Structure 1
Amino acid sequence: MKRFLLPLLVAFAASPAWAGIPAESEDCLGCHSDPDQTYDLPSGEKLSLYVNQEAFAKSVHGEMLRCTECHTDKTSDHATGELKFKTRREVTRAYYEQCKGCHFANYTKTLDGVHFAVMAKGNDKAALCVDCHGAHDISRPGQPRARISQMCSGCHGKEAAVYARSVHGRLAGSSSDVPVCTDCHRAHDTTDPRDGALAARTPEICGRCHTDEKLMKRYGLSTKVVDTYLADFHGMAASLQQGKKKGPGVRLAAVCTDCHGVHDIEKSDSPNSSVMAANLQKTCAKCHEGASESFPKAWLSHYEPTPEKAPIVWAVQLFYKLMIPFMVGGLVLQIALHLWRVVVNR
């Protein structure tokens, strides 16, 4: 039997699946290559002990980490064949702690995130490192970017389905230009969308892409949207509120997502868009109760006043641009002449 198995094991170890795997890990993988190998937990769940060698070899850890660097004697006991865990979730939480040994900076960020806050309150389903990154098949973050939203959909299926139908979601699979979940919500220190802080940062978040001239040129979009928003009543009010303590949901003015949507953003000329002219009255009425059909016409949206678009506003602005310097200049001239006369008369 040994004469038969030895050449087989040698040939298997030399296969592509083992390429790049540290030698110290080969012994572990020699046993953990059986897909049917499981461990019966006290909870009645079966814990798979199988490691896909090919996936592990291709992972970011495959060429640099030994199995024992994560699977320490604190988490498993080969001598007795026993695990100290009662449920599969306990296993996941144990290895969440192992990650901080190498990734301490990102681990500390998670302590400020909503996932950790939820877990601290007793929610055992809150996302941990391996829930997002995987275990033995960890790839580099954002490769491909579409994988990020797919990963988030494991817990946030409803939001992911809405996002997939949006203008961003439809392009996410074919373009790296559009935002995925972590671009807005961040990765490790994920913000709780219910506390108002994320909404307050919305103009900054959206502005990262929508002020990029090279990027917006590809899609024929204006880069003036943030500037025109900040110059408008909504933007000014939102800016004044920055840095002030406020309760959840308390805001002075609308931000980008209040008008354009959150996960369901559409092109502005789409029939389903909340900022489409036909739908704008309903959108405004969310904040301005009783808004009439003509109410949205009093707002310039993201347009800059021109003789063709809002000529009255353009004319008033031009008047003040000329009148204010004239008045201030005249006042300064009057004061200067008065002082000159006083000096001369002396």
Structure 2
Amino acid sequence: MRFLLAGFFSCLLLSAAAPKPQDCVGCHDVDLAKFEKTPHASMGCTGCHNGITKLPHAGKPAPVKCGDCHADEVKEYAGSAHGVAKKSGMADAATCSSCHGPAHEMLPASDPGSRVAKRNLPDTCGSCHSNPDFMAKHKIPFAKPVEAYRLSLHGREVAKGNLAAASCSDCHGSHNILPATDPRAKVNHANVMETCGACHAQVKAAYAQSVHGVAVARGAADAPTCTDCHGEHTILAPSEAGSLVNPARVSTVTCGRCHADERLARRYDLPASNVTSFEDSFHGLALRGGQQTVANCASCHGVHDILPSSDPRSTINPKNLGRTCGQCHAGVGDKLATAHIHLRNEGASEHPVVKWIRLAYLLLIPLTIGFMLLHNGLDFLRKLRHRKLHHGTGEEVMRMNIRFRIAHWMVIVSFLTLVFTGFALKFPESAWVKMCQACGLSPIARAYLHRIAAILITFGTVYHLVHMAMVRRDRVILTELLPNWQDAKDIFNMLRYNLGLTKHRPTFGMFGYPEKMEYWAFMWGTIVMAVTGFLLWAENWTLSHFPKWVIDAATAAHWYEAILATLSILVWHWYLVIFDPDVYPMDMAWLNGKVSADHLRETRPEYYRKIVEASEVQDSDQATPPDAPAGH
């Protein structure tokens, strides 16, 4: 009897014991091997399904309540963007199992195989946030955030196994993910500094004291925080070409986004022209052309520790400008302390000398080129209506000897090179500049080529002057080229002739007013370009010995003189030697020194008569005194 009673009570105890996982798999398809790896394995099945007390159980078990153990996490989730969406009826809103995986297979975050392990979070979050249909259905405005993160510096580092780099939950949170518009969100504008500062503590400390950090702390929604400059999901290293803080982009794309905004300039009383003045400066033009070694905004203002110029700690405080600019321009001293750095045309900060240079050229250029267009246009139309395009005899006489042609060749090569390389700096985004860069003409090569051409044109001009000083026969052109009152009368009479007001065409001597105007304009322009070019080339020396307005004046004069010289060559010189119907398709004196005798007989009869009387020799050394430019 004793043994029977013991067996009976043993059966009762066994039937009252909690079911084990091994007892459940008979009916439920659960992989026990995976379940044993979960953090819930020690709790068994009834740890979560605590309504099950015996087997077989009656009816369907009640839903598992994660909050029974994870009360804090469930509470955070309830107030999160996902929890609120779920409560409002969004069936596909993320739940515990959406992120952690099925309850019987979920792994702790420390396990590399866990869906919430740092390395796997992009895949987990991407199951919804990389789904175009899901994003469109719920009108989530961010385009491909997960894909962008994978390409970012953080994403690549995490993918390589660097778990110190930020992943989704580091910035957005885990259970308490909130929309950026929520003041409590880790990615809210006011909280981004704290979020990024969790990893970048030193940067946070510097930024917090900066003009931007102080403005954000005071509630200025427009003031930039970390993500405004570095991006959100697409954060790249500064050395990467696509980075918003890459030297080539930081000034125009990043800083310029706010500082070139007229609305923000008015709201916060910011200088509206600083970005455009920088873009038009040498630094800005060089950066736009792809040269990243020149100064950008951050080079002068700092990066995270940007302070107003009135702050003694600021890198652009007048007392610190010498040291700041001296990083690149050694020896500039304190001359920049009182100078206007962001110089904009027509601005109140423009020095009077710079202003008058600009105004003088803005008046001179249209008047000069306008006269040239009128003069040549009338001449061209008159000749088309009343004259044959070609002369008949084909006879030629020597006009430009070898010494003049050598000087002219040097000027041709150097001038064209200067125009090409100079305007390439000024218009770096133009298609022809991009094409040249694609063919191998780097910004550095362009700069060196420009300087070499400057040396060549200077040498060619000096050679021209020296050879005239040494060769008496050639020196005569200086007196022949001197302007006189007859030139003014010839201009007036030529205009009258071309307008049909007189039938008598003016004739000239060795040189007419077209050659005189061109010769002295070239000499004057060469001097201006050489002097200003030297001041700009030796910018450290210039800044060390002169006030900053001197280099600003040199910049203005160099630019406007380049425009005037280029247009003059195109409109005046090329008409005289190419497009003039009397010499078309080209006056070949620059190549072989000879010009049409028929043309001279018609336009310079007295000069031609002297040639005939004095010349029996044909070569350049024995011919009548030649000139530098080809005749009209």
Give the TM-score of the pair, scaled to structure 1. Answer: 0.77
The question of 1:58 aligning with 2:79 is answered yes
Q: Which residue of 2 aligns with 1:103?
A: 129
Give 2:104's match in structure 1, choosing from 77, 84, 94. 77
Partner of 1:141: 180
Cross-structure match for 1:199: 247
C-alpha distance in structure 2 between counterparts of 1:219 and 1:319, whole Å: 36
Name the structure where helix makes up a greater proportion of residues: 2
| 1:77-226 correspondence to structure 2 within 5 Å | 77=104, 83=108, 85-86=110-111, 91-104=117-130, 105-141=144-180, 143=182, 144-173=188-217, 174-195=219-240, 197=243, 198-203=246-251, 204-226=253-275
Q: Match for 2:250: what amino acid?
A: T
- 8 A Cα contact 1:77 1:83, kept in partner: no
Give the Cα–Cα distance (whole angstroms) in 2 for the partners of residues 344 and 232 of structure 1.
48
Aligned residues: 294
Mapped to 2, the partners of 1:230 and 1:291 lie a distance apart of 22
Letter in 2 for 1:69: S
Structure 1 contact 111–117 (Cα < 8 Å) conserved:
yes
Shift of 1:299: 6.3
Q: Distance in 1 between matches of 2:176 and 2:299?
A: 39
What's the CA shift for 1:308?
Answer: 6.3
Structure 1: unaligned runs, 5 residues or longer: 1-24, 35-49, 242-249
Give the partner amino acid of 1:289.
Answer: A
Q: Which residue of 2 aligns with 1:3?
A: none
Q: Distance in 2 between matches of 1:192 and 1:266?
A: 23
Partner SS state of residue 237, structure 1: helix
For 2:356 and 2:330, the matched residues in 1 are separated by: 31
Query: Which region of structure 1 is more displaced relative to structure 2, 136-145 or 124-133?
Result: 136-145
Quick one: which of 353, 373, 380 aligns to 1:312? 353
| Residue in structure 2 matched with residue 4 of structure 1 by the alignment | none
Moved over 6 A (4+): 87-90, 296-299
Matched residues in 1 for 2:80 and 2:308: separation? Answer: 38
- Aligned partner of residue 151 in structure 2, secondary structure: coil
| Deviation at residue 334 of structure 1 after TM alignment | 1.6
Counterpart of 2:373 in structure 1 is 332
1:83 Cα deviation (Å)?
4.6
Q: How far apart are the structure 2 equivalents of 1:336 and 1:166?
A: 61
Q: Which amino acid aligns with 1:205?
A: T
User: Hey, what's the Cα distance between the residues in 1 that align with 2:175 and 2:63?
Assistant: 14
- Summarize deviations over 1:41-66 as a string: whole Å, max 9, x none: xxxxxxxxx5141x322211112322
Superposed CA offset, 1:200-235 (max 9, x none)? 211221111112222222221111111111111111
**Which amino acid in 2 is paired with 1:109?**
A
Shift of 1:69: 1.7
Q: Alpha-carbon deviation of 1:86?
A: 3.7
Distance 2:336 2:115 in 1: 53
| Matching residue of 2:323 | 282
Structure 1 counterpart of 2:359, which letter?
L
Q: CA deviation at 1:313?
A: 1.0
How far apart are the structure 2 equivalents of 1:253 and 1:299? 19
Check if 1:29 corresponds to 2:66.
yes
- CA distance in 2 between counterparts of 1:26 and 1:178 reads 48
Percent identity over the alignment is 33
Task: After TM superposition, give the deviation of residue 85 of structure 1 in Å.
Answer: 4.7
Q: Does the 8 Å contact 1:306/1:314 carry over to 2?
A: no
Q: CA deviation at 1:185?
A: 0.3
The verdict on how the C-alpha distance between 1:306 and 1:56 changes in structure 2, with shifts beyond 3 A counting, is: closer
Offset of residue 256 of structure 1: 0.7
Distance across 2 between alignment mates of 1:85 and 1:209: 42
1:234 to 277, 280, 283: 283
In structure 2, give the amino acid aligned to 1:179.
P
- Contact 2:171 2:195 survives alignment (8 Å): yes
297-306 or 95-104, which moves further after superposition?
A: 297-306
Query: Unaligned regions of 5+ residues in structure 2, if any?
Result: 1-61, 87-92, 131-143, 183-187, 388-632
Cα deviation digits, residues 275-319 of structure 1 (max 9, x gap): 122111111011223333225667643454557631111111111
Q: Aligned partners of 1:70 and 1:307: how far apart in 2?
A: 60
Amino acid at match of 2:117: V
**Cα separation, 1, equivalents of 2:111 and 2:70:** 24
Partners in 2 of 1:308 and 1:96 — Cα distance? 52
